[in-house]
Chains A and B, each alone.
Chain A
């Protein structure tokens, strides 16, 4: 299946831990994104990569570090997790910078 795949789907962890969320797309898209959906269901951009190059870096804590080893992958590493990091994190991709987006199914992160 052609899709944007995120792992894990659910992640429960303790405060202070470091965790990673992986994202892969097999659509041949050039651009990938990370979005955060908070408890009020509002979606907000975190990062955007085009051809492995960071092009959007919103005001997120530097505990969040994206890594794009190639065009098909954009992973999100989070250090020293805090309670406020609990949210659903969505990966997305688009063919080019101006194209429509395809979203993954999300990773529900719960920090306890």
Chain B
């Protein structure tokens, strides 16, 4: 059974800093991994989806990597802005038909 862990649980950085959020998963036979953003009291917004055959995906200032052998994914945020403040969740899928298993999230605060 896939388990997903995110470190750190909370992170506070000054505006403009580049930062990395970490996600670990227990089953290296992962089908895909998805990063989401959740604002307080809101739903989840999909940021990036990485298929098992891919090593990374990029969207604007965001870059997500996937290393199946080490069971890790990272979300890199360049030149952070106060508007990036939110909880970031990673979620992995074992097979195409299995559930999406979520980590507990990293709460990011970017200070002006």
Q: Do A and B bind each other?
A: yes
Please give the residue numbers on chain A whose beta carbons come within 8 Å of chain B beta carbons, in ascending order.
33, 40-45, 48, 50, 55-56, 58, 90, 92, 96-98, 100-106, 108
Q: Is the interface of B mostly helix, strand, loop or mixed?
A: strand
CB-nearest residue of chain A to B101 = A45
Known interface pairs A42-B104, A58-B99; A104-B87 also in contact (CB < 8 Å): no
Q: Separation in Å of the A72 CB from the closest CB of chain B?
A: 18
A41 touches B96 (CB 8 A): no
Cβ-based interface call for B108 (8 A)? no
> Which of B32, B97, B101 contacts A55, CB < 8 Å?
B97
* A-B interface, 8 closest residue pairs, ranked by CB to CB distance from nearest: A98-B96, A105-B43, A100-B49, A103-B44, A45-B99, A43-B102, A97-B97, A97-B96
Bound-complex Cα distance A42 to B44 (A): 12
B89 touches A43 (CB 8 A): yes
How many chain B residues have a CB neighbour from A under 8 Å?
A: 26
Known interface pairs A40-B104, A41-B105, A106-B42; A100-B96 also in contact (CB < 8 Å): no
CB neighbours of B36 from chain A (8 A): 103
Cβ-based interface call for B13 (8 A)? no
CB neighbours of A100 from chain B (8 A): 32, 34, 46, 49
CB neighbours of B102 from chain A (8 A): 42-44
Cβ-based interface call for B76 (8 A)? no
Q: Separation in Å of the B60 CB from the closest CB of chain A?
A: 17
A98 touches B31 (CB 8 A): yes
Q: Separation in Å of the B100 CB from the closest CB of chain A?
A: 6
Q: Separation in Å of the A29 CB from the closest CB of chain B?
A: 13
CB neighbours of A104 from chain B (8 A): 43
Bound-complex Cα distance A58 to B58 (A): 33
Cβ-based interface call for B68 (8 A)? no
B32 touches A106 (CB 8 A): no
CB-nearest residue of chain B to A105 = B43
CB neighbours of A48 from chain B (8 A): 99
> Which of B34, B42, B91 contacts A105, CB < 8 Å?
B42
Known interface pairs A41-B105, A44-B102; A102-B46 also in contact (CB < 8 Å): yes
